[in-house]
Amino acid sequence: MRIKTIFIIVSILLIFQVAPLILSLFSVDIKTMLIADTFGSEVSRDAVLMFETFAFVLSSVIIGIICLILGSLSIRDLSALRRLSFLLFVIMGFLALPDLIFGISGKPTAPIPVIIANLLTMGILLYGAKRGNI
């Protein structure tokens, strides 16, 4: 499979993963739903502020990663693209690690579809690092 196709698929999966956080910045209903999943129905103003900060920072980081991926579509060197695919795999692994640890330990975590999309993203990027072509 072409690495550039892999990068486009990964970008779409990342948009899917970050969409709830971005929407929570603009929609009170979505924000309330996400906060209630984690903190319960009774939340303090500090918890809401912490969630808003978390959503803004993580959304910004993911959008930055998407821009990096889309910007790398102009690279023509196969070894550079494979190396970049592996490095993105590592970054996605560190983004998935807290969700996996919290999920195993029974603590509140991201929704299951987001976790599955992140693991799928990691698998696609690892495939690109090993067998991707131009």
Task: Give the number of other Cβ atoms within 10 Å of residue 63's Cβ.
Answer: 14
* Alpha helices (runs of H) in the chain, residue ranges in sequence order: 3-26, 28-39, 45-71, 78-105, 112-131
Q: Which sequence spans correspond to the domains of the chain?
A: 3-131
User: Is 7's pLDDT higher than 90?
Assistant: yes
Q: Residue 69: what pLDDT?
A: 96
Mean pLDDT of the chain: 92
- For 15-70, the pLDDT digits (tens) are 999 999 999 999 999 998 888 877 777 888 888 899 999 999 999 999 999 999 99
More confidently predicted of 71 and 43: 71
CA distance 67 to 82: 18
Provide φ and ψ at 106, rounded to 5°. 85, 10
Provide φ and ψ at 44, rounded to 5°. -85, 165
Predicted TM-score (pTM) of this structure: 0.89
Q: Residue 41: what pLDDT?
A: 78
